[in-house]
Structure 1
Amino acid sequence: METNTNLSLLDKFQDWISRSTSLKLVIIGFIILILLIPQALTTDLIIERQIRLEEAENEVTGKWSRSQTVIGPYLALPYHYYREVQSNGENKIIKELKTAYFLPDLLDITGDLHAESLHRGIFDVVVYQSDIQLKADFGSIALEKLDITAEQVLWDQASFLISVSDLRGIGENPELTLNNTPLISEPFTDSQTYLKGLQFPVSFDSASKDFTFSGKIKLKGSKDFHIVPLGKTTELKLTGNWPNPSFQGEFLPEERSMDDEGFQSNWKILHFNRPFGQEFNGTLPNFHDSAFGLSLKMPVDQYQQSIRTSKYSILIIVLSFLALFLMEIFTKSRVHPLQYILIGFALVLYYTLLIALSEQLGFSLAYLMASLATVGLLALYAKSLFSQLKITGIFTGILSLFYIFIFVIIKQQDYALLIGSIGLFVALAATMFISRKIDWYKS
């Protein structure tokens, strides 16, 4: 008799475990926590692929030429500096060699960038070749502003300098002139400012007043192209065949136009807009802080968008499980925790499928195909869980709506918070409305 009673209590306990809604919710919550582990591994995989892309970019740009920043031209004048020192009770005059630097009054640069995509395995890297036309008008050299006299200057050792970030990008001998007189170029490196580039030795007398430095340079680079506004007035005109450049730096173009054929952009910078003057003695400021220009990037960064998509994975899992749980309650079907786990793994595997496809097809098409594959798989599986085809259709429609919702958020970056908040509010309201008649105390 006692044995039968014990069996009866055991049967009731097992029946309560199998039918308890509250316990089922606890189990579902635990499954969601467990699924965070493979989801974290999937996110790590996406980051790893992104790092691999960066390695491929560094490998390609290291052989081609890296991003370029052009600084110049500016004039370097060596001069003798005399100072008095006391040694052994006697005053002595020490002569030192210093350099004064002078920037142009007008700097006019016109550049045409021909961009192309190089392939490294499955990765694409943007590089460019550019034709740079430049003209720099210098006025009279204001030696007095630096307390230098004409007699101190070594006029036969003057030179014009143009700094470029990567000397490997210089494809041909530059064709530059001073007042229409051709100049010879040679490389230089400044150990104090860490600038490197081309110098053009010149020799002129102290009576030289206005002069014009002009010509063209062919320059290769990758992704970014910037200049520094050295002129009292700096004008930059850039054109190219890349349809979607990103304008960057301290100044944005006054005029710009972009279409499928390429872009056109114009800048005009005054010396009031920059934090340095026109003359320097001995050292130069950090010009790079005032650089501006553009970046030629791939139109779609599938890794960045995949990472943003994966951040919503927990939301997809929770909403999908919630929809499945409510259908289980109303249809009085019984979905085993193992079946929840299988559905959860399918939702997690979606992101691995997404990144694999996006590397080959681009993000948008990959998102469509991965979503169709996942929703289709879960629809077929749901057909075995629910006897009614209508319920399977509703579950499939809800899943589809979730993925459409996430895609809209990813694409509408400026309104992602607004759209996401409204969507979650609607989902919460729908859940509250649907579950309002469930008697949780009897569950």
Structure 2
Amino acid sequence: MFKHPLFTKLAALGAVVLLLMVGLSMIEGVVRDRQRYRSLTAQSVADSLAGPQTLMGPLIHSACVESWDEETGKGDERRMVERRREFRLTAMPEQLKISTGAAMEERARGLHKVNTYTLKAQVAAQWGSLAGLVPQSTLKNSRMHCGAPIVMMAVGDARGIRTAQFTLGPQALALKPGTFHPAYSRGLHAVLPESVRGKADGLAATLDLELVGTERLAIVPLGGNTEVLMTSGWPHPSFAGRFLPSEREVKKTGFAATWRLSSLATTAQADIAEGKPVCAGGLDNDPRSPEYGTGSASQGGPCADSFSVAFVDPVNPYSLSDRATKYGVLFIALTFVAVGLFELMKKLRVHPVQYLLVGSALCSFFLLLVSLSEHLPFGTSYAVAASACVLLLAYYASHMLGGLTRGIPLGAGIAVLYGLLYLLLQLEQTALVVGSIALFLVLAAVMVLTRNVNWYGVSSQGGTPRRPGAPATPPAARPEAA
């Protein structure tokens, strides 16, 4: 039974499909490699310019030491030893208002482009009573010593700081690099006069900051009440983090978003006071530490809340090409079914090598797509690659199936498949339902077309199909039935 021509043909077609699947997997590997190269490009730009930025602050802190004398030993060996306790006092702003505007600029490495931005931010902070900066003794007769109060602003990558101006009331303070904070060392700081310690009526400060970053900006809601207004000319923001904007407006010309948060809704103040890393990453003092970037507030991890905006490219040719190649096996299967229907209904004979060539043309579409999309817009690349493959397959099918009246409908069907695939790539929420309905309709059409086929007769007459263009066997030459 397995030597029957039908089973031999099916086995050959199975081998052809396996070869084509190997080719598709190699094309998928090419797409993944190009995606990896783009990631390396983004990292290269971040290494040369500045990485994703995180803003945290301003806050006031002061390093203190409590020391006392303690008697140790017995008898003649008794002596006084000084003991020390180091701690840090922190004052968080009661009111924090941040207004930012991000101007986008593309940076490129070869064929790959990366979104960078120049951020101009105005940060206004209002502190209430600063009694929390007054140290409290834990032991009787202990000695207290505190360093000068420092107001600091931490950033994700200090290399991105372009200009900064800090004013305390009407007075401009001299800014210096670093923060003198053990957990958030990257940023800037200014030394405050000792008179602010314990000030009952608080103080107000303003920071004007120009900052360069790459692809993403995160902000820590550090105030008792935090209000952030962010605007940009980039029309494709991706809002993430622990809090979405209270208000947002996204247009083709850009976006505007506003966050209004209360300390009742976040533990950011307590977490920053304890020196925890920020959930968005980028503010941990030691990236090699086990907890760096691993915290997740949603999972109760050791990190402080933040929210962020990513300046994403919605038409990433590599992600779209990767999605397209996942439909490659379905494309090959549907095309082979169409050719098989012609072979069955028109009594033709199509060699497995011809199936292999048709499948190879289908596979070449995906390679054309990813290569052209590196130089042209994705829509244009898709149209060029699909048109080239449809014309080639229609031309070849006209000779393979024995005429234009058969080749052109096959080419038209493949063109419809490419159109459906492009539609699926553009859809997000409804891609699955549209694809499922389309596949069901194709299956229904095949079942309707083959509803009267005698499959037992086909399997018992494996040699009856003729070559395209070959004359039918005249009735007189046919053997008589016994």
TM-score after normalising by structure 1: 0.90
Mapped pair 1:267 → 2:259: yes
Corresponding residue for residue 298 of structure 1: 313
Corresponding residue for residue 275 of structure 2: 284
Corresponding residue for residue 430 of structure 1: 445
- 1:254, distance to aligned residue in structure 2 (A): 1.1
One-letter code aligned to 2:445: A
Structure 2 runs not aligned, ≥5 long:
280-303, 459-482
Structure 1's consecutive aligned runs of 4 or more residues displaced over 3 angstroms after TM superposition are 82-86, 89-93, 144-149, 151-156, 189-192, 276-281
Mapped pair 1:78 → 2:63: yes
TM-score after normalising by structure 2: 0.83
Distance 1:317 1:441, change over 3 A: same
Structure 1 runs not aligned, ≥5 long:
1-12
Q: Distance in 1 between matches of 2:398 and 2:374?
A: 32
Matched position secondary structure for 2:244 = coil
Mapped pair 1:183 → 2:161: no
Question: Retained in 2: the 8 A contact 1:115–1:127?
Answer: yes
Greater relative contact order structure (CA < 8 Å, 6+ sep) = 1
Question: Retained in 2: the 8 A contact 1:157–1:201?
Answer: yes
Question: Retained in 1: the 8 A contact 2:116–2:214?
Answer: yes
Q: Distance in 2 between matches of 1:370 and 1:411?
A: 17
Question: Retained in 1: the 8 A contact 2:61–2:133?
Answer: no
Q: 1:66 aligns with which of 25, 48, 51?
A: 51
Corresponding residue for residue 187 of structure 2: 197
Q: Distance in 1 between matches of 2:268 and 2:235?
A: 34
Question: Retained in 2: the 8 A contact 1:78–1:153?
Answer: no
Deviates most, 230-239 or 187-196: 187-196
- 1:32, distance to aligned residue in structure 2 (A): 0.7
Corresponding residue for residue 467 of structure 2: none
Question: Retained in 2: the 8 A contact 1:107–1:134?
Answer: yes
Corresponding residue for residue 129 of structure 1: 118
Question: Retained in 1: the 8 A contact 2:105–2:117?
Answer: yes
- 1:62, distance to aligned residue in structure 2 (A): 1.6
One-letter code aligned to 2:447: M
One-letter code aligned to 1:159: I
Distance 1:384 1:279, change over 3 A: closer
Question: Retained in 2: the 8 A contact 1:100–1:280?
Answer: no
Aligned length: 424
Question: Retained in 2: the 8 A contact 1:69–1:165?
Answer: yes
Q: Deviations over 1:147-182 (max 9, x none)?
A: 569x9775661101111111110112x111112211
Q: CA RMSD in A?
A: 2.4
- 1:440, distance to aligned residue in structure 2 (A): 1.6
Q: Deviations over 1:34-60 (max 9, x none)?
A: 211111110000111111111122212
Matched position secondary structure for 2:153 = strand
Question: Retained in 2: the 8 A contact 1:256–1:265?
Answer: yes
Q: Distance in 2 between matches of 1:207 and 1:26?
A: 87
One-letter code aligned to 2:88: T
Q: Distance in 2 between matches of 1:269 and 1:298?
A: 28
In the TM superposition, 1:33-432 aligns within 5 A as: 33-82=18-67, 85=70, 87-89=72-74, 92=81, 94-143=83-132, 147=136, 157-172=148-163, 174-188=164-178, 192-205=182-195, 206-209=197-200, 210-277=202-269, 283-288=274-279, 289-432=304-447
- 1:257, distance to aligned residue in structure 2 (A): 1.2
More helix by percentage: 1
- 1:81, distance to aligned residue in structure 2 (A): 2.0
Question: Retained in 1: the 8 A contact 2:235–2:254?
Answer: yes
Distance 1:134 1:442, change over 3 A: same
- 1:433, distance to aligned residue in structure 2 (A): 1.4
Question: Retained in 2: the 8 A contact 1:109–1:134?
Answer: yes
Corresponding residue for residue 10 of structure 1: none
Question: Retained in 1: the 8 A contact 2:129–2:198?
Answer: no
Q: Deviations over 1:261-312 (max 9, x none)?
A: 211111111111212445976x423333412121112231110010000011
Q: Deviations over 1:356-390 (max 9, x none)?
A: 11111122221111111111100000010122422
One-letter code aligned to 2:174: I
